[in-house]
Amino acid sequence: MSGSKSSAPAAADEPLGLTVHSMPVPDAEARRRMVTGRWKMLAVLAVCAAPVVASYFTYFVIRPEGRTNYGDLISPSREAPAGLAARDLEGREAPLATLKGQWTLVVVAPSACDAACEQRLLWQRQIREALGREKDRVDKLWLVTDDAALRAPLRQALESPPPVRVLRVPADGLAAWLQPAAGQQLADHLYLVDPMGHWMMRWPVDVQPGRLKRDLERLLRASAFWDQPGR
């Protein structure tokens, strides 16, 4: 009896045995598919990032001197002075900050608008239309430098679709933002304001519309990833 009783604890004290099974090792075909999938994912990411990288490279790595610009590039670009007051033709305040969000092709002239002024307004319209599907990324603006009334036929022409935005800005205040080339008047040029509201380009007095259009096309291509049609 005593012998049988002593054998039971010995059995209970035996350690439990655990069997560890190794994880399955992928075969060569599975490894190949996994590596191929990773490369495809990296290729998709590279394609998606390419436009952003190209745009930053164009603006921040390639110097302006390395490109052939027809217009005068303003460097650094100039934001409109905070105190520069602007009003629409009905006399309502219209802050120049509202220009942000679009490329804006600008004409400057007094309300009388002589033949040269009318020609620049015509070029402004024709150049924008010539941009085709990109034209909705460009606004037209006439900055009037006095308080006199516009001629009725001229105002009617400006309001025909697509209308020209017209704002009155004091000439002395405007001179603190836009500047003509040496020996020229403020009203002698076409100017370009970028989507951040900064003046960044000025074209010659006797402008060649085709070359101006090419400048705009280059800028629109370079900014395609961040500047979209409409405000």
Is 37 part of a structural domain of the chain? Answer: yes
- Whether this prediction's pTM lies above 0.75 is answered by no
Number of structural domains (the chain) is 2
d(CA 188, CA 155): 21
Q: Are 74 and 55 in the same domain? A: no
Residue 11 has pLDDT above 50, yes or no: no
Average pLDDT across the chain, whole number = 81
Joined tokens for residue 12: 């209970």
Q: CB neighbours of 42 closer than 8 A, spacing ≥ 6?
A: none
Contact 126, 213 (CB under 8 A): no
- Burial readout 200-231 (b: 16 or more C-beta within 10 A, e: otherwise): bbbbbeebeeeebbebbeebbebbeeebeeee
Q: What is the pLDDT of residue 58?
A: 53
Q: Are 169 and 78 in the same domain? A: yes
What digits encode the pLDDT tens for the residues 139-187?
999 999 999 999 999 999 999 998 999 999 999 999 999 999 999 999 9
d(CA 43, CA 50): 11
- Burial readout 148-169 (b: 16 or more C-beta within 10 A, e: otherwise): eebeeebeebbeeeeebbbbbb
Is pLDDT larger for residue 172 or for residue 11?
172
Q: Are 118 and 41 in the same domain? A: no
Domain limits at 45? 25-62
Is 216 part of a structural domain of the chain? Answer: yes
Is 8 part of a structural domain of the chain? Answer: no
Q: What is the pLDDT of residue 129?
A: 95
Measured N-to-C along each axis, helices 115-130 and 209-222 cross at an angle, to the nearest 10 degrees, of 40
Q: Are 81 and 176 in the same domain? A: yes
Of the three residues 62, 91, 109, the one that is the final residue of a domain is 62
Joined tokens for residue 140: 């037209």
Place of tokens 């304001």: 193
Q: Are 193 and 81 in the same domain? A: yes
Is 228 part of a structural domain of the chain? Answer: no
Q: What is the DSSP pairing of strand 103-109 with strand 198-202?
A: unpaired
Is 144 part of a structural domain of the chain? Answer: yes
Q: Are 157 and 103 in the same domain? A: yes
CATH number of the domain at 181, please: 3.40.30.10
Q: What is the pLDDT of residue 7?
A: 47
Q: Are 87 and 123 in the same domain? A: yes
Sheet-wide strand order for 198-202: 72-79, 198-202, 190-193, 103-109, 138-144, 165-168
Q: Are 132 and 101 in the same domain? A: yes
